[in-house]
Amino acid sequence: MIRFEHVTKRYADGTTAVDDLSFEVADGELVTLVGPSGCGKTTTMKMVNRLIEPTSGRILLDGEDIAGVDPVELRRRIGYVIQQVGLFPHKTVLDNTATVPHLLGVKRAKARERAAELLELVGLDPSVHGARYPEQLSGGQRQRVGVARALAADPPVLLMDEPFGAVDPVVREHLQNEFLKLQAAVRKTVLFVTHDIEEAVRLGDRIAVYGSGRIEQYDAPATVLGAPATPYVAEFVGADRGLKRLSVTPIEVGDLQQPPVVRLDDPLDRAAEQLRAEGAHWAVVLDAEDNLHGWISAEHADRKGTVRDRARRMEAWLPVGASLKQAFSTMLQHDAGWIAVIDEESAGRFLGVLTPATLHEALRRSTTADARDITRAEVDLETVTVR
């Protein structure tokens, strides 16, 4: 756990880069520090590995004041990834990755073995890329080596300063997704500096939005987007924050509607009667195991035979937990007025459907906002209108 207590950094020329900063990062949490250029993000980060010393206040790592820890010993516990990567140009990729464990006394062969595992973990093939020199890699591949090298000593904490800043947007998104998968597996405590709100929202468990030298809001992405704490934060996260919220709000079971349900082996006349009784135009069709098969419309139900004869397959479905953005996009892709939501954990059991109206309602919900006594009506939707 990393804890800042009233930390101030004033440089020799009188610039106050960080002003009375207090916040905490939990074990295994990924916190993004986001804000405009010069607001103090890098200064904050470099105080954690003592590349910069605070003027006042203290920083605790697992409860221990880092001012009393030898910087070299401290940095062994903290991986560091920067935009320029800083790979050794005359060492191969494999040797670059093996450097830290080797310096820590791991035998060369063992360190290289571990380095090869790490390269694979970040999506590089050690047998192809391991023998290359940094200049023989693309920008995105070099960034991956930077991440592998930072993980080599298996530090519990990672500091990442705009690590994906130097690559084009497509590669950047790819690296972000890979990094999220990696983080789900290794669960490091991460401080991640970026000036890109999209990146901060996509990666962070929580986001610290910086004003000048101060944190203006420290919350989960959905809360920062849905209930910005100040006009400054609202402006910084952007006028389309309602849209950004779609990608950080997962579909929950409570969002779903329960339409009429019929079974594949039901007689059609009984299904028609059920639809009439419920005043519905269509029903979801399930198989004997409660798994989604498809749907049937009222006009097709009024015949002889069983539902199986007239049911249509349903292609527009998602697992619960997928984002509202995926839900919206699936609706558009299939030109569907609703999508089915299933439970992948229990072999695809049908849970309910999401319609544009329930999607709109789900967007109003924010669990963290609820916890802070902000009512749904107060959650700002900005420009999103979903009909």
Ligand X SMILES: Nc1ncnc2c1ncn2[C@@H]1O[C@H](COP(=O)(O)OP(=O)(O)OP(=O)(O)O)[C@@H](O)[C@H]1O
List of residues contacting ligand X (CB under 6 A): 11, 13, 15, 17, 35, 37-43, 195
Closer CB to ligand X, 13 or 73, in the complex: 13
| Residue 292: φ, ψ to 5° | -70, 130
Tell which residue, 164, 194, 190, 198, has the closest CA to residue 178: 164
Q: What is the DSSP letter of 77?
A: T
Closer CB to ligand X, 43 or 96, in the complex: 43
Q: Residue 53, SS3?
A: coil
CB of 29 to ligand X, least distance (A): 20
Closer CB to ligand X, 161 or 382, in the complex: 161
Closer CB to ligand X, 101 or 146, in the complex: 146
Closer CB to ligand X, 83 or 329, in the complex: 83
CB of 237 to ligand X, least distance (A): 17
Closer CB to ligand X, 41 or 129, in the complex: 41
CB of 13 to ligand X, least distance (A): 5
Q: What is the DSSP letter of 257?
A: B
Q: Please, which residues bridge with residue 285 across strands?
A: 262, 294
- Give the C-alpha distances (Å, rounded to integers) separating 178 from 168, 181, 203: 15, 5, 11
Rounded to 10 degrees, the C-alpha dihedral 367/385/238/208 comes to 10
CB of 226 to ligand X, least distance (A): 25
Element (H, E) at 16: strand 16-25
Q: What is the DSSP letter of 323?
A: B
Closer CB to ligand X, 41 or 112, in the complex: 41
Cross-sheet strand order for the sheet of 312-313: 261-263, 282-286, 292-297, 312-313
136-155 exposure pattern, b = at least 16 Cβ within 10 A, e = fewer? ebeebbbbbbbbbbbbbbeb
For tokens 């269509």, the residue is: 282
Q: What is the DSSP letter of 137?
A: S
CB of 40 to ligand X, least distance (A): 4
CB of 84 to ligand X, least distance (A): 12
CB-neighbour burial class of residue 37 (10 A; exposed 0-12, middle 13-18, buried 19+):
exposed
Closer CB to ligand X, 58 or 214, in the complex: 214
How is residue 263 written in tokens?
A: 């079974």
CB of 54 to ligand X, least distance (A): 12
CA distance 153 to 143: 17
CB of 211 to ligand X, least distance (A): 11
Residue 343 contacts residue 201 (beta carbons within 8 Å):
no
Q: What is the DSSP letter of 123?
A: T
What does R_g of the chain's alpha carbons equal in angstroms? 26
Closer CB to ligand X, 71 or 305, in the complex: 71
CB of 338 to ligand X, least distance (A): 44
CB of 89 to ligand X, least distance (A): 24
Closer CB to ligand X, 33 or 359, in the complex: 33
Element (H, E) at 215: strand 215-219
